Chains A and B, each alone.
Chain A
């Protein structure tokens, strides 16, 4: 009962956040109900397609929230956030691969099919332990966290900032992509990990498992949101924003800014890892494409479109962009890139603070008070 007040305190001043969490909760009720209980003939039946689709959106939303934490609040434009997402995904994928056991096509009791095929005689050392869920679960956080720690420790200590930092995060994810593409790296090369059978003993292809994963994703989004919210509203959070706005002054005041940055960066990486881990069983494949620099850039765009520095805005952006993608790729397969590209340009030019900013702006214009535009001072 001690937690309740904290949640309330976190959401007290956060109207958008309340809406956001309510929508997620509503989804967590409606989707399972419409998928499992409502009969298939009914107009309100929700197909498994929609469940996995929305489940995927939710993991993207979590990813966007974690990215917004580092970009929107800490001011670090990470063009390599996909690296953490991918690593979390691979950790989960490795667990799922080990779960296949001897049901692979070659029937080897331990080795996944691609290893049998590439003449592996025994399991590489880094694959050990992934047959146990708890181990994989730790790794989902540990591996992205460790990478973020090492990378951040090096980068923040030597005060790499701005575009230099952005570009080396890009180099990081690019290097990982190339490495994972290599078949002798031991992660299945270009094909990645696929053909999963079950998770914790539950059949991945059954609707109930899918719905359970969906609910987990929903919970993860809520949890992730609250964690991020907690960080930014705490005393640490004030420092975080202060670093974004003027790092030099924070340093001059005697704070060890690199530790604060490191902490937030690692937390964000872990959340991204969790998003990746939930993503993999729902889409059924993880491959090095997730590490591609373009993917990471797209993530940044979700956040920008939704509205950076609001957390729920980032989540909204992820859902909007991906929904647009899903819709356009089917409705206008030949020209959808025009529409998506146009959307990006439109949002940058006309909604500089993203959808959330536009809505807020609209509300304040039509309503009570007019906030001075903080950005204006920088323009020109």
Chain B
């Protein structure tokens, strides 16, 4: 055995394997990381957001870039694989040295990248409505918190539709669990009895809704106006709505308000039987404003397809990008520790009119809109809040999170400050 040769060969091989991933760096461009799944189950929703970021980057470059530098988007595919999200986040920040990342959709993907982005002091803009109960120093949440979507929607159903009996149906993961928990507590505080609330969870991609829809039907025929609050996720919605339509549950009898169904989801459904069912968002494509018309036109131009729709997470991405660009311009650097405080108080016009403001709890002020599904796959806005609602990271409707606040400015400077014990918990960086 010639051990030395063996060892030498092996070392060479090892070195080769290790350094390949590190090749390919270029300097003097501002790098924008895009961390959205382009394959796997979430590609359906996330691909659009990748395109949105690319469009924003292109527009920014046309307008002369940022700080005199060109922007460059670095796209990776975490393939709907949650541990891969963490790995790719690390790759983006450590290897590609990106200045900011736009990405994630599901809660678990965000939870997966969270330790990484905190450890490496990165900057992540998260554009999807989510369950709240979080405020990280390094993450800005431009989607809706529960008080910006769920609570107003229930208020609408209660006051305008007169719902007295509630079905909370969701996919079994953390966002529906949290939202339903908040809603259950909220409804009970509003005097709804225990037996008037039915909660149901189904797995991801559930496709056989016969029994559940039939249960909803009989639950809804007890004489009280019944409404369904649906936090059913993505793929499971099509068979759910198809079954609703076929079993003859019309919006007048039992309206369904969905928090995860937007224009893009509807573009895969024949909306004929769904007319009148509701959705709550901060943005609808049908919103009438000049900014929205421009955005839609730009999107159609970029994607080269007049039939493509826009949706709420796209607006959230848009707002996030604009805010970041504005903050970078304000402080003249992309350094995270400088940009972060500069983001507080930054204002960007909403596409629906009014302005979005980034608060020091890393959440936005946004208007809440309720739309009814139309037969052309669009929403008709039937109700909206008077002004913007400020995003609340920690809901006030649950005892354990009522006492917690997030504020990333002095003196608190913490994402989960317990107002009773006067302590910050869960910080390890």
A interface residues with partner B (beta carbon < 8 Å): 18-19, 22-23, 25-27, 30-31, 34, 46-50, 52-54, 56, 102-107, 113-114, 116-119, 178, 181-183, 189-192, 194-197, 203, 205, 283-285, 287, 289, 319, 323, 326-327, 329-330, 333-334, 336-337
Determine whether the beta carbon of B426 is less than 8 Å from that of A49.
no
Determine whether the beta carbon of B174 is less than 8 Å from that of A190.
yes
Determine whether the beta carbon of A192 is less than 8 Å from that of B108.
yes
Among A182, A191, A289, residue most surrounded by chain B Cβ atoms (within 10 Å): A191
The reply to whether the CB of B116 lies closer than 8 angstroms to some CB of chain A is yes
Given A18-B6, A22-B7, A105-B426; A30-B14 close (CB under 8 Å): yes
Please indicate the chain B residues that have their CB under 8 angstroms from the CB of A27 in the complex: 14
With the chains together, A25 CA to B14 CA distance in Å? 10
With the chains together, A114 CA to B81 CA distance in Å? 21
Given A48-B94, A107-B425, A183-B201; A283-B83 close (CB under 8 Å): yes
Determine whether the beta carbon of B22 is less than 8 Å from that of A329.
no
Main secondary structure of the interface of A (DSSP, over half): helix
Interface size on B, residues (CB 8 A): 64
Beyond the given pairs A23-B10, A50-B21, A330-B76, 4 more chain A to chain B contacts, judged by CB atoms under 8 angstroms and listed by A's residue number, are A47-B22, A182-B172, A203-B428, A326-B21
With the chains together, A178 CA to B190 CA distance in Å? 35
Determine whether the beta carbon of A50 is less than 8 Å from that of B22.
yes
Determine whether the beta carbon of A194 is less than 8 Å from that of B425.
no
8 Å CB contact of B400 from A19, A117, A192, A329: A117
Given A23-B13, A30-B14, A334-B38; A181-B22 close (CB under 8 Å): no
With the chains together, A113 CA to B426 CA distance in Å? 10
8 Å CB contact of A181 from B14, B107, B172, B427: B172
The reply to whether the CB of B17 lies closer than 8 angstroms to some CB of chain A is yes
8 Å CB contact of B108 from A107, A190, A197: A190
Interface 1/0 per residue, B69-90 and A, CB below 8 Å: 0000001111101111011101
With the chains together, A106 CA to B423 CA distance in Å? 11
Interface 1/0 per residue, B113-150 and A, CB below 8 Å: 01110010000000000000110000000000000000
With the chains together, A119 CA to B399 CA distance in Å? 11
With the chains together, A272 CA to B156 CA distance in Å? 52
Please indicate the chain B residues that have their CB under 8 angstroms from the CB of A117 in the complex: 133, 177-178, 181, 400
Determine whether the beta carbon of A106 is less than 8 Å from that of B115.
no
Chain B, Cβ-Cβ closest to A320:
B17
B235 smallest CB distance to A (angstroms): 14
Main secondary structure of the interface of B (DSSP, over half): helix
Determine whether the beta carbon of B83 is less than 8 Å from that of A285.
yes
Please indicate the chain B residues that have their CB under 8 angstroms from the CB of A22 in the complex: 6-7, 10
The reply to whether the CB of B95 lies closer than 8 angstroms to some CB of chain A is yes
Q: List 29 A-B contacts (CB under 8 A).
A: A18-B6, A19-B9, A23-B10, A26-B11, A49-B90, A49-B94, A104-B426, A105-B133, A105-B404, A107-B426, A119-B181, A178-B203, A181-B204, A183-B174, A190-B107, A190-B174, A192-B82, A192-B108, A195-B111, A197-B428, A205-B428, A283-B86, A284-B115, A287-B82, A323-B17, A326-B91, A329-B84, A334-B77, A336-B39
With the chains together, A44 CA to B227 CA distance in Å? 62
With the chains together, A194 CA to B94 CA distance in Å? 21
The reply to whether the CB of B374 lies closer than 8 angstroms to some CB of chain A is no
- Give the top 4 A-B pairs by smallest Cβ distance, nearest first: A333-B77, A190-B173, A107-B425, A49-B94
Determine whether the beta carbon of A284 is less than 8 Å from that of B10.
no
With the chains together, A235 CA to B50 CA distance in Å? 57
With the chains together, A26 CA to B15 CA distance in Å? 9
Given A48-B94, A102-B425, A181-B203; A19-B172 close (CB under 8 Å): no
The reply to whether the CB of B421 lies closer than 8 angstroms to some CB of chain A is yes
